[in-house]
Chain A
Amino acid sequence: MTVEARSASSVSPAAEFWRTFRRNKVAVGALVVVLAIIVVAIFAPFIVPQDPYDLKSLVLRDARRPPGYVGSSGIVHLLGTDSQGRDLLSAIVYGLRISLQMGLLAGAIAFTIGAVVGCFAAYVGGRIEALIMRIVDIQLSFPAILLAFVVAAMLGQGKSQLILALVFAQYAYFVRTAHGAASAERQKDYVQAALSVPMSGWFVVTRHIIPNSLPPLIVVATVQVASAISLEATLSFLGVGLPPTEPSLGMLIANGFQYLLSGRYWIAIYPGVALIILIMAINLVGDQIRDQLNPRLRK
């Protein structure tokens, strides 16, 4: 069709992308959930009924009470209380805050390392590229959970140690994706065109290759943030993650584990449900983005 101008005004690829994304109601709902959780996590101290880690406000008499119990200080414990009389809802909100923090920080660091190393490898080519990609491939053949577990165990408990372990377990995925995307872009005519002008290598990498390699990286980022959150919970559950002073969702579940068998299900279940909602919402958003970017499904 020789339609001279397809639409009346400037439509950026990002705007076009959002238009398609918007049509999947499930994905939009998931995105709203993720954003809502982020907002709740940021403003946690102003939202929750009780500061769960202010020991003065905890009353042992209120411990292990079922959902709906009205505590001695007059607080309604919507989701019940844990073994120390802590309001579970408040503990979950604080737990989400820590889980999100870990997932996003680890994801952001791994993303940056991956994008830079991957694009660099694709740009320089030759032996350096081969070496970097060989290392990455070898690392990728080891499951993330094993790497994270070993590194976390070697480094000991603590926030920064845990982030390091998560980054170590995940950066390789970003490198491989960035490398794949960047080498595909490097072959394309528009990069060749820029090089034939000639534009500087720096300009070509920063203005052409990196922006066009971002979409697949964003897909990996959603998957990896979700999996970082899950990994963190798993490590904390196993006892090699965060210290008890920084209780993430995984630790709340671990603490509730022993009461599960005695029928006090809520202590372990509700933090788990919160965790699943968060991870699932991120995965749903990622899934839609991936489908939209898959050239083999586009017609």
Chain B
Amino acid sequence: MASFILRRFGQAVIVLLVMSLLVFLGVYVIGNPIDVLISPDATQEMRLQVIRQYGLDLPIWQQYLEFLERLMRGDLGRSFVYNMPVMTLIAQRLPATLELTLIAVLFASAVGIPLGIYAGYKPNSVLAKSIMAVSILGFSVPTFWIGLMLIMVFAVQLGWLPAGGRGQTAELFGVPFSFLTADGWKHLILPALNLSLFKMSMMCRLAASGTRETMLTDTIKFARAAGISEGTILRRHVLKLISIPLVTVFGLELGSTLAFALVTETIFNWPGLGKLIVDSIMSLDRPVMVAYLMLVSALFVFINLCVDLAYAALDPRLRHGRG
């Protein structure tokens, strides 16, 4: 087990190194590195000074090492547009995205998984067929389109909920969160719902197919032959068997929801990371792009690491097999 964790950890470090190299090559080398570091309207002297200061006259591998070293120190440069250190900027935006994403994924799981288990358990019932049909719809409709519809119906036509912004926030550990105030919740509902519908369909379909396959196995038949009740079979056999793929998906979806947040945040004008990256790409704010990519990579690697560990904890075959 220890070696398994260690191995995963080692792989995570390697992945991060590779990502840093890719981002370095992609943004620093393919583009003009000067543009990343200073604004385009700087004078010639300033340019030369920066080139020397950042060692851009050095060989490329040395530059990469220095890039890495700055990364370690958390120095990611300054944003041209907001004119502040990128780290500060990201730290400001991150809580909004995290809160939106977490609520969306939790909601998607809480609704999608039970529906899916039901649909897989009684695949021929009318309700199950309806669930599966709606989930295909949810799976097919692009997130941005659902966002537009939600705004049109609930914000424009009915006027029940606000169309954008974060609303009132309250501080927790010195970080502002919307979910702590009633107004914040009002602002959260639509974007969170928007973000979760696609995931909900995914989770539902996965739980459904997992349950359906499991119900046909000899394991379940044998349990039934022992007279075990359907409720116990579902809770103690089926749920345990399908939880392994579901946890994997939960982790991966957490990551992908984080990415999809950029669509939702744009539509609902939610001041999170997603909106920040869309804006900075539009305004070619490269230091922000670099920081965002590195941060997101680190986040994904971290999530994957957690998923692997959860996997090992859930599946005894893995736990013992890799001693």
A–B touching in complex (CB under 8 Å): yes
Are B259 and A153 neighbours in the complex by a CB distance under 8 Å? no
* Contact-size category for A: 35 or more
With CB as the reference atom, state the residue of chain B lying closest to A298: B216
0/1 string, A212-241, CB within 8 A of B gives 1: 000000000000001000100110011110
Which chain A positions have C-beta within 8 A of B281?
149-150, 153, 240
State whether A280 and B137 are in contact (beta carbons under 8 Å apart), knowing that A145-B263, A240-B281 are contacts in the complex. Answer: yes
Which chain A positions have C-beta within 8 A of B260?
143, 145
Are B293 and A233 neighbours in the complex by a CB distance under 8 Å? no
**A-B contacts, 10 listed (Cβ < 8 Å):** A141-B300, A142-B259, A142-B297, A143-B259, A149-B281, A237-B263, A280-B136, A294-B213, A296-B213, A297-B213
Q: Is the C-beta of A3 less than 8 angstroms from some C-beta in chain B? A: no
Are A238 and B216 neighbours in the complex by a CB distance under 8 Å? no
Q: Is the C-beta of B144 less than 8 angstroms from some C-beta in chain A? A: yes
State whether A260 and B148 are in contact (beta carbons under 8 Å apart), knowing that A138-B18, A238-B278, A239-B282 are contacts in the complex. Answer: yes
Q: Is the C-beta of A76 less than 8 angstroms from some C-beta in chain B? A: no
Are A234 and B263 neighbours in the complex by a CB distance under 8 Å? yes
Which chain A positions have C-beta within 8 A of B145?
233, 253, 272, 275-276
Cβ of B152 to closest chain A Cβ, rounded Å: 5
Partner pick for B259 among A138, A146, A263, A268, CB 8 A cutoff: A146
Which chain B positions have C-beta within 8 A of A238?
144, 262-263, 266, 278
* Cα–Cα, bound, A294→B156 (Å): 45
Cβ of B190 to closest chain A Cβ, rounded Å: 14
* Cα–Cα, bound, A261→B148 (Å): 10
State whether A237 and B144 are in contact (beta carbons under 8 Å apart), knowing that A145-B260, A294-B213 are contacts in the complex. Answer: yes
Task: Identify 8 new A-B residue pairs, CB closer than 8 A, beyond the known A145-B256, A296-B216.
Answer: A142-B255, A230-B142, A234-B143, A234-B144, A238-B263, A250-B144, A253-B145, A287-B136
Chain B interface helix/strand/loop/mixed: helix
Q: Is the C-beta of A21 less than 8 angstroms from some C-beta in chain B? A: no
Are A297 and B216 neighbours in the complex by a CB distance under 8 Å? yes
- The interface of chain B, by Cβ under 8 A from chain A, is 15, 18, 26, 30, 136-137, 139-145, 148-149, 151-152, 156, 163, 209, 212-213, 216, 252, 255-256, 258-260, 262-263, 266, 278, 281-282, 289, 293, 296-297, 300-301, 303-304
Which chain B positions have C-beta within 8 A of A149?
259, 262, 281
With most chain A CB atoms within 10 A of its CB, the pick from B139, B156, B293 is B139
Which chain B positions have C-beta within 8 A of A132?
none
Are B142 and A233 neighbours in the complex by a CB distance under 8 Å? yes
Which chain A positions have C-beta within 8 A of B213?
294, 296-297
Are B256 and A143 neighbours in the complex by a CB distance under 8 Å? yes
- The interface of chain A, by Cβ under 8 A from chain B, is 138, 141-143, 145-146, 149-150, 153-154, 226, 230, 233-234, 237-240, 250, 253, 257, 260-261, 263, 265, 268, 272, 275-276, 279-280, 283-284, 287, 294, 296-297, 299
Are B136 and A142 neighbours in the complex by a CB distance under 8 Å? no
Which chain B positions have C-beta within 8 A of A234?
142-144, 263
Which chain B positions have C-beta within 8 A of A272?
145, 148-149
* Cα–Cα, bound, A143→B143 (Å): 14
Are A280 and B140 neighbours in the complex by a CB distance under 8 Å? yes
Partner pick for A150 among B209, B258, B293, CB 8 A cutoff: B293
Partner pick for B140 among A237, A257, A260, A276, CB 8 A cutoff: A276
Are B212 and A297 neighbours in the complex by a CB distance under 8 Å? yes
Are A143 and B255 neighbours in the complex by a CB distance under 8 Å? yes
The 6 closest A-B pairs by CB, nearest first: A143-B256, A146-B259, A280-B140, A143-B259, A279-B140, A153-B281
Are B263 and A141 neighbours in the complex by a CB distance under 8 Å? no
Are B136 and A283 neighbours in the complex by a CB distance under 8 Å? yes
* Cα–Cα, bound, A147→B255 (Å): 13
Partner pick for B255 among A141, A257, A296, CB 8 A cutoff: A141
* Cα–Cα, bound, A257→B148 (Å): 8
State whether A275 and B137 are in contact (beta carbons under 8 Å apart), knowing that A141-B252, A141-B300, A268-B148 are contacts in the complex. Answer: no
State whether A275 and B151 are in contact (beta carbons under 8 Å apart), knowing that A238-B278, A261-B156 are contacts in the complex. Answer: no
* Cα–Cα, bound, A237→B143 (Å): 11
With CB as the reference atom, state the residue of chain B lying closest to A280: B140
Are A283 and B259 neighbours in the complex by a CB distance under 8 Å? no
Cβ of B167 to closest chain A Cβ, rounded Å: 19
* Cα–Cα, bound, A280→B137 (Å): 6
With CB as the reference atom, state the residue of chain A lying closest to B292: A150
Cβ of B230 to closest chain A Cβ, rounded Å: 20
Which chain B positions have C-beta within 8 A of A283?
136, 139-140
